[in-house]
């Protein structure tokens, strides 16, 4: 029997994305954003409130990076999600993590994360119901240790984490259970 649970932002899995941008003084700021998604082959949308320090930085610098949070760096990912850059003078420096400037966009790459999307700001979406940042993905960089021999990201090596909106937990990505665009073909024969 099913039970009513009320209104919950109950989509699972949700990515754990570490969004980074420079402020007006060139300082690195980063935040944890679970509400983000690819919205075209070379575009990403991040649903960020206007009052986030990172949102303000993206609008100023016109660029940002998005790192895929992994199990190894979960503590830092959680920290930048619970501490606001509006309240802490140099939130990123207090993490002990490192950043280098992207060679493609005016944004920092957090070196400890194994996969990062380098993005240019395309537009800010602000409607009655949606606040978002749309970025053009100009490049993806990945550490060699998370790549296959064909230079594709191996999600089992990446150990990306997902956010559970139901119980506020982090979960690592599990085993592959099927092949996209293949598994459903059997039903096409019916």
Percent of the chain scored above 70 by pLDDT? 100
CA–CA distances in Å: residue 175 to residues 22, 57, 154, 160? 36, 37, 11, 12
pTM for the predicted model, two decimal places? 0.94
Q: Report whether 85 contacts 91 (CB < 8 A).
A: yes
> What confidence tens digit (pLDDT) does each residue in 45-104 have?
999 988 899 999 999 999 999 999 999 999 999 999 998 877 777 889 989 999 999 999
Q: Report whether 17 contacts 38 (CB < 8 A).
A: no
- From the number of C-beta atoms within 10 Å of its C-beta (0-12, 13-18, 19+), residue 81 rates as middle
Domains of the chain by start residue, with CATH: 14-188 (2.30.110.10)
């Amino acid at each position: 029997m099913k039970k009513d649970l009320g209104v919950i932002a109950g989509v699972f899995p949700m990515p754990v994305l570490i969004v980074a941008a420079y402020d007006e003084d060139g300082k690195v700021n980063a935040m944890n954003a679970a509400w983000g998604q690819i919205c075209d082959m070379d575009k990403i949308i991040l649903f960020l409130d206007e009052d986030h320090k990172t949102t303000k930085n993206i609008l100023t610098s016109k660029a940002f990076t998005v790192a895929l949070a992994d199990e190894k760096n979960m503590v830092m990912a959680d920290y930048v999600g619970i501490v606001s850059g509006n309240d802490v003078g140099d939130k990123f420096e207090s993490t002990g993590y490192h950043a280098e400037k992207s060679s493609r966009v005016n944004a920092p790459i957090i070196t400890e994360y194994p996969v990062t999307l380098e993005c240019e700001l395309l537009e800010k979406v602000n409607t009655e119901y949606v606040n978002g940042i749309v970025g053009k993905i100009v490049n993806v960089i990945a550490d060699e240790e998370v790549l296959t021999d064909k230079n594709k990201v191996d999600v089992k090596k990446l150990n990306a984490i997902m956010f559970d909106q139901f119980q506020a937990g982090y979960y690592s990505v599990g085993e592959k259970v099927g092949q996209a665009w293949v598994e459903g073909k059997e039903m096409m024969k019916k």
